[in-house]
Structure formats: C-alpha cells, structure tokens
Chain A
Amino acid sequence: MVVVFPPIVREAIIFSSLLTLLSTGLTLTYMTSRVPNFAHGSFATIGTYVSLVAFRLFSLSPYQFIPVAFVLAGVVSFILYKAILRPLARKGASTILLMIATIAYDMLLIAALNITADFLSRNYKVTSRYFSLKSADIRIENIPMVFYAAPLVTAIVIVALYLLLTRTKFGVAMRAAIENPSLAGVVGINVDLVYSVSWFLAGGLAGVAGLLMALWFIGNPDLGTILLISIFTASIVGGLMNIYGAFLGGFLVGFAEVLGTANLARAVGVWIVPYRPVIPLLILVITLLTIPGGISSIKFERFIGRVRKGGF
C-alpha cells in the first residue's frame, strides 16, 4: 500500500531533511572552531545554482551534479577556514571578530552569486532569479523524486557521520580534536587537517542540501541568507555542540516551521506566510530561555528514572 502524504507534509519532510543537513554542517564547524558561521547559508545557495546550471545549461538532471555541488561548496567552505579564519585565529582574533569575518565572506559570496545569476540570464537567457526547478525533477508515481531523495540523503549522511565518528580512526580523532585540540596535537593528531576536513564536509553537505532545495523551493541568490535563521535555530535547539542534537533540531524546527505556517495561514489568512521566519525565531527564544544547552543537554536518563519512580 502506498501512503500518500498531503503536499504540506511532503514539504515539511523535504524542508526538515534539508535543514538537518544544513544544521549538521553548521554544528560541525561550530564544534571545531567555535565560530558561528554566517556564510553557511550561502554554501547552500552555491548548490542551488549548481542545480540550475546542470538543468538549464547542460540539460542534465541536477541529481547527477550532487558530487559537483558537494565539492564546490566544500571548497568554498574550506577556503573560509584556511584562508581567513585560521590565520585570524592564529593572530589571536576573538570569536566576535571571527564571526564578523564570516559575515564579510558571506557578503562576498552573495555578490558572487548575484554576478553568477546576472551572467546566466544575460549570456544564456536563463531565468536565474526566483526560479523554480520543480519541472527538472524526476517523478515516481507522480510524486517528485526529491520527496524520497531529501530524507534518503539525510539518513545516509546521519548514518555515515555516525559510523565515521565512532568506527573510524579519523572520526575518533575528529571527536578528540573537537574536545581537546592541544591534547590532540600532543598525541600526534594533525588538528588543522581534522578541522579542514570538518569545514570541507560542512560546506559539502550544505551544497548538497542547496542543490536538492532547488527542486522544491524557489531559488534566488539570497535563498541561503533567508534560511540562516532556521539553520541557526535548528543547531541551537540541537545543542550547538552535539552533532546528533543537530539532527533532532533540524527535524523539529523544519516541521514546526512548515506545518506552523500552514496552520496559521489557514487560521488567520495567507498574509501571515511572509512572516514564516518568526516561527524559528520564537523557537530560538524559547529554547534559549528554557534549555539554553539545547535538546542534547537534557538528561533524559534522569527524567525516565524519575518517571519510573513516580516522581512526575
């Protein structure tokens, strides 16, 4: 029996899956270098434009360009770490200064994305702003493939990251370097290499998320910037220092944002839709006020223990 989800649930599943990919990357970079990366959204937009180029210029399925989006956004993220953040950190730059550096880099990326959009529309007569690539998607029994691809890619990434971090020597070294960089250096781990890989992975995952996003949402050079609030909220809800928390945060915020907006629109009118970012902002405020450490800081074992003892 095939379960047919209503379109709004489909959108929630796609959005939260992709948001999970994005928040996982943001959490990974925060864990390694303690810098809130404001350019993370634009890494996703790079993937969105890879999708556009694949379909409009090469007449190929965007899915075939997943490795391109991964590598391209990964390299852009790696450059931010290696060429800007690391030299600044070595000179003793504070977290605030590093954060401002990511904002400056984001501005550069947005400018580059706008130039790319202009270049595509002027030279190739491609609609490169507010474009939709829904028609580029493959349909399986009349359901767009992204509905399956987004959660599948996210699930693969979650499992792969879990296996990487717990079953491989390099993954355990990543955890070690995140927990105690100086001790990691002491035991012979090349901490800089570990961080570089983390930044590359984070950017790559954002690129893949952006590529898939173009198959369902409207693409524009500022897509990533608009998503930034949701990405940060998902990471903070998850705990910011816990990669598994980011998975939970991504799904929680994604579902709340899509279903919340749809229900509010039904209740008070469609004028509310542009105010959609208020939902993640509210979640952010509530989280910071009630559980500033995020979901991963909750001691569920104690909670279950109390419930068993009849404490609640």
Chain B
Amino acid sequence: MITVDKLNAGYGRLHILFDVDIEVREKSITVVVGPNGSGKSTLLRSIFGLTKIYSGSIKYNGEEITGLAPHQVARRGVAYLPQTDNVFANLTVRENLMMACYTLDKKTSEERMERVLDFFPMLRGFMNRKSGTLSGGERQMVAMAMALLREPKVMMFDEPTGNLSPKLAMEVLGKIRELRDKLGITILLVEQNAKKALELGDHCYLLVSGRVAFEGHPKSLLSHAELSKLYLGV
C-alpha cells in the first residue's frame, strides 16, 4: 500500500531519517515505535509531504508520491493525524468536520457526516462547541472523525494517546482497532506508548536515531529482551 524506499529526509539542513525502508500492508496495522527523537513523526510527515526529502522514494499503491504537497497526498486517500494541533481550535466541531469534507460535494458530505457521527456518537453533543474547549480525548475523537470523513484508505496516526489518561488512551486505541476491523482501513501508527501499540499491531518497525533497527512481528520485538529494554522501556 505504502512503500518507503531508502528515504533520507529532514528539515532544512537537519537530516533526521537515514535510508529508511518501510512497507505498510493493506488492511493491517503497522506500528512504528522508538525512543524520543528517533524520527517517528518525521517519517509520517515525510510521507505526507511536510518535510524536505533529500533522496529515496515514497510510493502509494505503486504511484510515486515523493515530494507531493499535503493536499495532493490527502486527495489520494491518505489521512494524517498529527500529534498536536490536529483540530482547528477556533472552529466549532461542526466547522472542523465541514473542513474535513472540503473536497466533497454537499450530498456526499452529509451522508458521510451521518455515518461518522454514528461511529463517534459522543460528537453529536459537541457540534456547536469550539474544538479548543474540548478535552484531549474528545479532541482526538474529533481528529479521527475528521480523518474518517474523507474515507481514507490509509490513516497515519502520530502518537494519538499522547497526554491522554490510560482509560482514554485505551478507548482511542480501541477505536483504531475498529477502524481496521470494521472499516478495513490500513493504519500506520506511531506511538510512544509502545507496549499497548504493539499489542494492536500486525507488523512493526523500531526506529532508532533515524534508522530502522528492527522490523518484524510485534511479538518478536516484545520478546526481544535487549531491544525492548533499551529502546521501549518494556
């Protein structure tokens, strides 16, 4: 689905990713874990056209998307949920959802809105509230609903449980699992909360200092005493 090949990327002269190879398989959850500053977020941002690509390629369903503008990647069916600022705080929940349907016609937007609100029923009560006034978990749900409205084929999450209470974090991860199981969406998940994320994943990568240090089944990584102790704290 998404193939990252020998990717070198960063911000200006700050080189962060070095020859990174990643394969995201269809209708699966691929988890990327690693210590702080290992380049996990940069990887997602690079796929989404938000960093400087020095070399390498990113393909989506065989099509070269390296260096495309974010809205061009989004229009191909890839949704990206940033770690922070993933909703428009000054807009109401309704306006946020409306923006998520920006490229759709009115009829399709309304139909999808109903479907997504059925998936996140709690949002019906917040429609006219400014997103900036919602709690972290509620904001995360709005962000997920916004991504879902575009009926993406791939959803990329950047630390969706960051700053959330354990209970809310479990709820959010549960919703991510539902996205794969009920809607067949391919997930690329970057998480600091490594253990929980790996339990959810079908395939995983460990990034260390901008390089892939491990690739394989999450259980293999969790059972790798040295790596999990050194880099994951589990």
Partner-B contacts on A (CB < 8 A) = 92, 169, 172-173, 175-176, 179-180, 182-191
Contact B71 A190 (CB under 8 A): yes
Q: Chain A nearest CB: distance from B153 CB in Å?
A: 14
Q: B99 near A: Cβ within 8 Å?
A: yes
Contact-residue size bin, chain B (C-beta under 8 Å from the other chain): 20 to 34
Residues of chain B contacted by A169 (CB below 8 angstroms) = 98, 102
Q: List 15 A-B contacts (CB under 8 A).
A: A169-B98, A172-B99, A173-B99, A175-B90, A176-B99, A180-B88, A183-B86, A185-B70, A185-B71, A186-B48, A186-B74, A186-B82, A187-B100, A188-B150, A189-B99
Q: Which 8 A-B pairs have the closest CB atoms?
A: A185-B70, A188-B74, A188-B103, A176-B88, A188-B71, A176-B99, A188-B102, A185-B71
Q: How far is the CA of A169 from the CA of B90 in the complex (A)?
A: 15
A189 to B74, CA, bound (A): 9
Contact between A92 and B12, CB atoms less than 8 A apart? yes
Q: Does B181 count as interface, using CB distance less than 8 angstroms?
A: no
Which chain B residue lies CB-closest to A172? B95
A170 nearest in chain B by CB position: B102
B80 at the interface (CB under 8 A from A): yes
Main secondary structure of the interface of B (DSSP, over half): loop
Q: Is B164 an interface residue (CB 8 A)?
A: no
Which residues does chain A contribute within 8 Å of B146, judged by CB atoms? 187
Interface flags, B37-72, vs A, CB<8A=1, else 0: 000000000001110000000000000000001110
Taking CB atoms, residues of chain B closer than 8 Å to A190 are 71
Candidate in B12, B71, B90 with the most chain A CB atoms within 10 angstroms: B71
Q: In the complex, which residues of chain A have a beta carbon less than 8 angstroms from the beta carbon of B74?
A: 185-188
0/1 interface trace, chain B 17-47, chain A, CB 8 Å (1 if under): 0000000000000000000000000000000
Alpha-carbon distance between A191 and B80 when the two chains are bound, in angstroms: 16
Whether A191 contacts B71 by the Cβ 8 Å rule is yes
| A183-B82, A186-B48, A187-B146 known; A175+B102 contact, CB < 8 A | no
Q: Which residue of A lies closest to B80 (CB)?
A: A186
Docked pose: A187 CA to B101 CA in angstroms: 8
B69 proximity list for chain A (CB < 8 A)? 185
B200 in the interface, Cβ–Cβ < 8 Å? no
Give the distance to chain B from A187, nearest Cβ to Cβ, in Å. 5
